[in-house]
Structure 1
Amino acid sequence: MVLTLILIGAVAAVYATACAALMMRLGITFRQALSYLPLKLLYRIDDRAVRIARKSEAPVVYVISHQSRLDAALMLSLLPDDTLHILDEDSAKSAWLEPWRELARTIAFNTEHVFVSRRLVRVLKRKGRIAVYMPEDVEPDVRSFRLYRAVSRIALQGEARVVPIFIDGARHLPFSRIDEATAPRRWFPRLRIGMLEPLTIPELVSRAGAAQPTASGALFDRLAEARSTTNLAGRTLFQAIVEAAGRFGADREIVEDVISGSLSYRRMLMATRVLASRLARTTAPGEAVGLLLPNSNGIAIALLGVHSAGRVAAMINYTSGPANVTSAIRTAMIRTIVSSHAFVEKAGLADIIEAAKAGGARILWLEELREGTSRLDKLAAFFLWRRPVGPQAADAPALVMFTSGSEHAPKAVVLSHQNVLTNAMQVEARLAIGPRDFVMNVLPVFHAFGLLGGLILPLLAGVKTLLYPSPLHFKLIPQLAGKKRPTVLFSTDTFLSAYAKAAGDQDFACLRMAVAGAEPLLAETRRIWMGRFGTRLFEGYGMTEAAPVLSLNSATHEREGSVGRLLPGVRARLEPIEGIDEGGRLWVTGPNVMMGYMSADRPGVIQRLEEGWHDTGDIVSFDREGFVTIKGRAKRFAKIAGEMVSLGAIEMLVHALWPEDKHAIVAVPDRRRGERIVLVTTAEQADANELRRRGKEAGMTELAIPQDIVKIEEIPIHATGKTDYAATRQIAIDRLGHATAA
């Protein structure tokens, strides 16, 4: 009996000591520490960010993303004890929550009437604190979004700061409020509490810069920003995908190609371990390793293998020509390239391999690696697939990608692990995508859009992805979609238009959405896909330098003709342009914006951005709710007789006039006016008089109407689907002759 009492006393003393330590570290009361310690131990909670909430000066509104029934217990234990918690009816009545409800004031409100009361404003004006639990909806319905309007209004009237709170891992608890098919359950997931610095609603609105969202939009984006910065914080791509394997199941099939079939997380990461071990022996930490592979299971394995080894993956655009490949290899100082004999032979890339060798790279063939793998290597991979082979650092370079070069020579863009992971989470915070989806990716992964949307995001979100090697198979891709039944497609307007022409009415009926980027989405393309397949097309905007997405339309935040609102955490400013009355040249900054460029004159050296701001080179405008409209590339404006003319706007006019054909507007030199505008088109019926008439109806000046029409069989495009304006412009110059265009 005495021994029992001694043991009980010892346990109580240890428990009290641990509670005292929590009190000192977090600033909570002893009663709060008593209730919080069991949760801390069970879920191994990372609570370092709690100090932000504790130090926030009143009045303050804590806005919590409500994912599970445990959220209230955690917040009652950690937020200041004078906080008024506004609980949903379930949390207000649950018997098990009673010990935690005793820690602070709580009130239950019906969500229909919660924020019409003036009581909350009075609490804030008395230097009070309130905690509001917002529905965890990536795409909130109209009713849910009313809460954002109400909370932002209360914060404004109460002159309160807002602290967004997100509990990473809570959605996977057994008592999650989210559908199990979207968030698989785990008994004891590790939790991480994320919070952002307190800001008032006016500060949130002004912080976005030129975008200037509404108060409710700014609040919604701030909570989404907390989510995107808390999820996967401090991890590398390899570590984040290993964590996804644990969350969604190591045996879940996650990638598939048309040759090899499907791979589970486990099998993919076992193969990754084998490749990483080889790279660790033959390359140096932090070295750039080139990947010259098609959309296949092999590219997923190679990408993760490079990152597991602690190296940087350089994505080689094998369609850019031998000269560009040699330049890319020298610029990024690539000494090793991972490729495949079968792919090189089938795609006829012998000249690209020779160009790579001329640049100083040696080739590591996957077939030879497979044959040279020993039983010991396989055994190590079986047991150690979760562990990286080399050093891991979230802020280190992860990718070297080369811009498409639609108007100039490609640039080498350096992205960190956090750039890429943050952008994936920013997109996930705007798109409702989850394990029930099935992605079909036809965009090449050497392009940032194809890599993030079609490979990295699905791997992180537990979404199986089908990797197809070429987007140019216009007849085969619809047939494959009809057979495999994907629900999400990432593509471009050019490809979407071509697929729709070749598809049967049922081939894409399985798609619930397609995300379009890289070029403007035409209204005709949107109409065809909705009319024939019932598929919504969401247009986005971005660039390689932004990893790559900057803005995106979604189900509840959509405006046709725009490219959506900026993603959470992205800030913008506009520089005025002479001759442009509405909008300006867009500069952006944010956690997804690149580390910097590498250039041929300083190979291997990252040239950092000045104060983190990047000049996009695009002319844009923002409306009153923050939706972005692209006016055109700065380089896609022509100066005709002193007047600025948007080539993109003219191109949209021509597409509306002859929607069945492909068109490109280019500017060529002109002796008299400086530049002249030329229409290059596949439309045999294209007529200058009809174009002039339609232009006048649209209010365009005479200077903006193309005076010359060049008819060709096919508009040059890059492998990414973008129009190759450099090649198109050269065609126009060659056809018109130097006498006219000189």
Structure 2
Amino acid sequence: MADAKFTIPHRIFAAARTHGDAVAIRGEDGTEVRYRDLEPLARAAAKGFIAAGVAQGDRIAIWAPNATGWIIAALGAQAAGAAIVPLNTRLKGREAGYILRTSGARLLFTVSDFLGTAYPQLLAGEDLPDLRGIVLIKGEEGGAPWQVFLDRGSALSDAAVDARLDALGEDQVCDILFTSGTTGNPKGAVTTHGQNVRLYLAYGETLTYGPGDNFLIINPFFHSFGYKAGWLVALMRGVTVLPHAVFQTERVFERIERERVTLLPGPPTIYQSLLAGPYETFDISSLRVAITGAASVPVTLIEEMRSKLGIDVVLTAYGLTETCGVVTMCGAGDDAATIANTAGRPLGGIEVRLVDEVGKAVAEGEAGELLVRGPNVMRGYFNDPAATAAAIDGEGWLRTGDIAVQDARGNVKITDRAKDIFIVGGFNAYPAEIEGLLAAYPAVMQSAVIGVPDERLGEVPMAFVVLRPGASATPEEVISWCRENMANYKVPRRVEIVDALPMNAAGKVQKFLLRG
């Protein structure tokens, strides 16, 4: 494997040759893909992309729940030289349409039905000038079936794929993950093969992932946590990937017991749900490693994950889409208080700085905005040089927008989120984006969204709404409309109709007054 290039297909194909007969992926229905089958399956998919006219550097969107087909589609696209654009399965048509247009995606891989949602139908009426076609990973309505896509490429020679792989280098873009910004519309963070391969080879080694581990991936593949810190690191290190589409407590316990799950990362919400469930009635003794983060973590949760769920190694980490998903991580030797109250130290080669409002470094133990520099920092936002320049300075420091303190041992503790960002069950919620979506509701003249505490999800959105003159709407009607037009984690759980929003002299909403 030492001579494999630092690209995702090269590294995974090299691992496949090493771990040949071991199970690479086992679906929820029990179907298995052996490591020896990974390269042939990905190559067949790559031929499908080439036959469809996909060129090196093109973008391919994937809008589907965790499943074997998601991984094979992604590997095939990357082997053909394309970059993948994962879409959140909670998005509605308007939100997905924006990302497809902005990325210029040539093909969309999706499913005809998931949890009662027909994804292709959601795009009816969306203007998608660059999209050449829709391929269904699963299902039969709204696009070309997966097998038809593969059949169209079957006449191509292996040499066609070899040529794409030979041309693939570590500096080529492997993915564009769209992250919602505080200024409204989502922006696409561009990262390369080499960045991700190097980061996650080190990440997996630190966590001692390897052959014999069974990795239950509940974190969605459209997120760095499920994709990069999920199946990517797993397949590069000979781990068995167990995709899991929908979190249901008893179903998760059943898989842990039946498939001897050893690795179970996730946001705190997952572990809180497991601890509230019938964990004593299942054999979950195989659990070995858990990585959490993305929200505040109580010390008692860390302790109970160890004592009640029997997880040997429980760690917390911190990262952003713009940093390939990881910046800092705790170590196995850290005590429960350190793991709960900090996000650990920067991984090798990654630098962090804490600065005040004028960019001056703050003293140890003082709060400041967290800046990150290193090989994990994105190349920029897709086709948005102004946003890139605002995020990354001339010396390569990325402004995270997060406020943190750092202790004498180098541990970083995130204390606040700049610009009012809050986290709903592990997903970043951006008030400006939710407010922008609310503006499309005919009765709404103005809105302000804040995060309010929620026992299960940490925080949830609450909207203060000013109606247009002569218009009428109840809080229930606004919430109902939001459920039709927003991903569920963005939907305000509470709406308060107000006559006016508190403004400062510059005309900006004073959200601290709304928080009371």
Name which of 285, 302, 326 aligns with 1:526: 302
Superposition map of 1:275-674 within 5 A? 275-281=45-51, 282-341=53-112, 343=113, 347-354=117-124, 358=128, 360-361=130-131, 362-366=133-137, 368-371=145-148, 373=150, 377=154, 391-403=167-179, 409-471=185-247, 473-505=248-280, 506-535=282-311, 536-557=313-334, 559-560=338-339, 561-577=341-357, 582-598=366-382, 610-636=394-420
Which amino acid is the alignment partner of residue 353 of structure 2? R
Listed one character per residue, the Cα deviations across residues 614-647 of structure 1 (whole Å, up to 9, x for unaligned) are 111111111111111111112249xxxxxxxxx9
Point out which structure has higher relative CO (alpha carbons under 8 A, 6+ apart): 2
SS of residue matched to 2:276: helix
Which amino acid is the alignment partner of residue 545 of structure 1? E
Compute the displacement of 1:286 (Å): 0.8
Task: Identify if the C-alpha distance between structure 1 residues 347 and 262 changes in structure 2 by more than 3 Å, giving closer, same or farther.
Answer: farther
Listed one character per residue, the Cα deviations across residues 194-232 of structure 1 (whole Å, up to 9, x for unaligned) are xxxxxxxxxxxxxxxxxxxxxxxxxxxxxxxxxxxxxx6
Task: Identify if the C-alpha distance between structure 1 residues 676 and 613 changes in structure 2 by more than 3 Å, giving closer, same or farther.
Answer: closer
Q: Gaps (5+ residues) in structure 1?
A: 1-168, 170-189, 193-231, 638-646, 652-663, 668-674, 684-713
Query: Which has the larger share of helix?
Result: 1
- Verify the 8 A CA contact 1:279 1:306 in the aligned structure 2: yes
Residues 1:239 and 2:10 are matched in the alignment: yes
Compute the displacement of 1:739 (Å): 7.4
Task: Identify if the C-alpha distance between structure 1 residues 347 and 474 changes in structure 2 by more than 3 Å, giving closer, same or farther.
Answer: farther
The whole-number CA distance in structure 2 between the counterparts of 1:627 and 1:524 is: 20
Compute the displacement of 1:533 (Å): 1.5
Listed one character per residue, the Cα deviations across residues 503-558 of structure 1 (whole Å, up to 9, x for unaligned) are 32235332112111222222232233222112142111001111101111121255
Task: Identify if the C-alpha distance between structure 1 residues 284 and 310 changes in structure 2 by more than 3 Å, giving closer, same or farther.
Answer: same
The whole-number CA distance in structure 2 between the counterparts of 1:326 and 1:300 is: 22
- Select the structure of larger CA radius of gyration: 1
The whole-number CA distance in structure 1 between the counterparts of 2:390 and 2:240 is: 34
Which amino acid is the alignment partner of residue 436 of structure 1? G
SS of residue matched to 1:489: coil
- Verify the 8 A CA contact 2:48 2:154 in the aligned structure 1: no
SS of residue matched to 1:283: coil
Listed one character per residue, the Cα deviations across residues 62-91 of structure 1 (whole Å, up to 9, x for unaligned) are xxxxxxxxxxxxxxxxxxxxxxxxxxxxxx
Compute the displacement of 1:453 (Å): 1.8
Aligned residues, how many? Answer: 441
The whole-number CA distance in structure 2 between the counterparts of 1:530 and 1:582 is: 31
Compute the displacement of 1:279 (Å): 0.9
Compute the displacement of 1:291 (Å): 1.3
Which amino acid is the alignment partner of residue 331 of structure 1? T
Listed one character per residue, the Cα deviations across residues 300-343 of structure 1 (whole Å, up to 9, x for unaligned) are 101110011011111122312222211111111112112344x4
Task: Identify if the C-alpha distance between structure 1 residues 539 and 680 changes in structure 2 by more than 3 Å, giving closer, same or farther.
Answer: closer
Task: Identify if the C-alpha distance between structure 1 residues 569 and 369 changes in structure 2 by more than 3 Å, giving closer, same or farther.
Answer: same
The whole-number CA distance in structure 1 between the counterparts of 2:322 and 2:501 is: 39
SS of residue matched to 2:327: strand
Partner of 1:254: 24
SS of residue matched to 1:630: strand
Residues 1:734 and 2:496 are matched in the alignment: yes
The whole-number CA distance in structure 2 between the counterparts of 1:283 and 1:409 is: 27
Task: Identify if the C-alpha distance between structure 1 residues 541 and 291 changes in structure 2 by more than 3 Å, giving closer, same or farther.
Answer: same
Q: Gaps (5+ residues) in structure 2?
A: 138-143, 433-447, 457-478, 503-512
- Verify the 8 A CA contact 2:47 2:150 in the aligned structure 1: no
- Verify the 8 A CA contact 1:280 1:390 in the aligned structure 2: no
Task: Identify if the C-alpha distance between structure 1 residues 376 and 324 changes in structure 2 by more than 3 Å, giving closer, same or farther.
Answer: closer
- Verify the 8 A CA contact 2:101 2:128 in the aligned structure 1: no
Q: Kindly, what percent of the aligned residue pairs are identical?
A: 23
Task: Identify if the C-alpha distance between structure 1 residues 610 and 426 changes in structure 2 by more than 3 Å, giving closer, same or farther.
Answer: farther
Compute the displacement of 1:357 (Å): 6.2
- Verify the 8 A CA contact 1:564 1:627 in the aligned structure 2: yes
SS of residue matched to 1:617: strand
SS of residue matched to 1:337: strand
Listed one character per residue, the Cα deviations across residues 619-678 of structure 1 (whole Å, up to 9, x for unaligned) are 1111111111111112249xxxxxxxxx99xx9xxxxxxxxxxxx9x99xxxxxxx9998
Structure 1 vs Structure 2 CA RMSD: 4.0
- Verify the 8 A CA contact 2:179 2:188 in the aligned structure 1: yes
- Report the TM-score when normalising by structure 1: 0.53
Task: Identify if the C-alpha distance between structure 1 residues 614 and 604 changes in structure 2 by more than 3 Å, giving closer, same or farther.
Answer: closer
SS of residue matched to 1:629: strand
- Report the TM-score when normalising by structure 2: 0.74
